């Protein structure tokens, strides 16, 4: 099934709080080495380690971090984050765990919903740090109205140290 545009996904993609049982999806995603490389997860982690980490996320999150589950037609397929939260800003993170959905508009729809959450929280701006070789994520940021504002220090990505592009988006009217 090709979904193609995030407009076609309106209503199909939703954000929700994490809940018990979501760790099973994270264990499945962690078993995919390609996903782990793309999402900067440690490949080959034991299921119990992934389960324990996600159970901690489900039980409670730090005041400067919030993660929502991304669902497609009610099925958990990924997550979005606001990290490094302050009273006026936060950092966007997104991962779609099911690789068959990559490039199908799910991340775009989920990030648009995340931005609505960010503005509802009163944030004035959201930033994102994208590995320079990750062309899909670079394009996603531009589709979402983010502007590249500079380069950050190199970070590991797919086994290499690569530059990171810093993107910024302000709430309309701020």
Q: Using one digit for the tens of pLDDT, what is the confidence trace for 84-127?
A: 999 999 999 999 999 999 999 999 999 999 999 999 999 999 99
Tokens representing 131 are: 């590995």
- This prediction has a pTM of 0.90
Q: Which residue has the tokens 């499945």?
A: 28
Rounded distance between C-alpha atoms, residue 154 and residue 151, angstroms: 9
Tens-digit pLDDT profile for residues 73-82: 999 999 999 9
Residue 142 to residue 145: CA distance in whole angstroms: 5
pLDDT in tens, 29-70: 999 999 998 888 998 999 999 999 999 999 987 889 999 999
Q: What is the number of other CB atoms lying within 10 angstroms of the CB of residue 133?
A: 12
pLDDT confidence bin for 7, thresholds 50/70/90: low
- Cβ of 104: how many Cβ atoms within 10 Å? 21
Least confident of 3-7, 41-45, 136-140: 3-7
Domain ranges of the chain: 7-18+63-170
Q: Which residue has the tokens 């899909």?
A: 136
Token pair, residue 122, equals: 């009163």
**What's the pLDDT band for 159 if we cut at 50, 70, 90?**
confident
Q: Under DSSP, is residue 74 helix (H, G, I), strand (E, B) or coil?
A: coil
pLDDT level of residue 4 (50, 70, 90 thresholds) = very low
Q: Which two tokens stand for residue 137?
A: 């994520």
C-alpha 109, offset from chain centre: 11
- pLDDT value at 5 more than 70: no
Looking at the predicted structure, is the pLDDT value of residue 3 above 70? no
pLDDT at 60: 83
Is 3.40.630.30 the CATH number for 7-18+63-170?
yes
8 φ, ψ (degrees, to nearest 5): -65, -20
pLDDT for 156 equals: 86
Backbone angles phi, psi at 135, to 5 degrees: -65, -35
């Amino acid at each position: 099934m090709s979904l193609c545009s995030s407009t076609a996904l309106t209503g199909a993609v939703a954000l929700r709080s994490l809940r018990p049982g979501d760790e099973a999806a994270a264990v499945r995603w962690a078993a995919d080495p390609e996903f782990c490389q793309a999402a900067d997860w440690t490949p080959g982690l034991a299921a119990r380690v992934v389960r324990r980490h996600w159970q901690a996320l489900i039980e409670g999150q730090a005041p400067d971090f919030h993660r929502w589950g991304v669902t497609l037609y009610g099925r958990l397929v990924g997550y979005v984050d606001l990290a490094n939260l302050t009273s006026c800003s936060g950092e966007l993170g997104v991962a779609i765990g099911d690789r068959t959905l990559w490039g199908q508009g799910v991340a775009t729809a989920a990030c648009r919903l995340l931005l609505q959450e960010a503005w509802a929280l009163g944030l004035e701006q959201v930033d994102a740090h994208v590995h320079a070789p990750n062309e899909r994520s670079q394009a996603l940021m531009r589709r979402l109205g983010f502007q590249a504002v500079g380069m950050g220090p190199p970070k590991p990505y797919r086994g290499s140290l690569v530059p990171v592009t810093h993107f910024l988006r302000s709430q309309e009217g701020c």
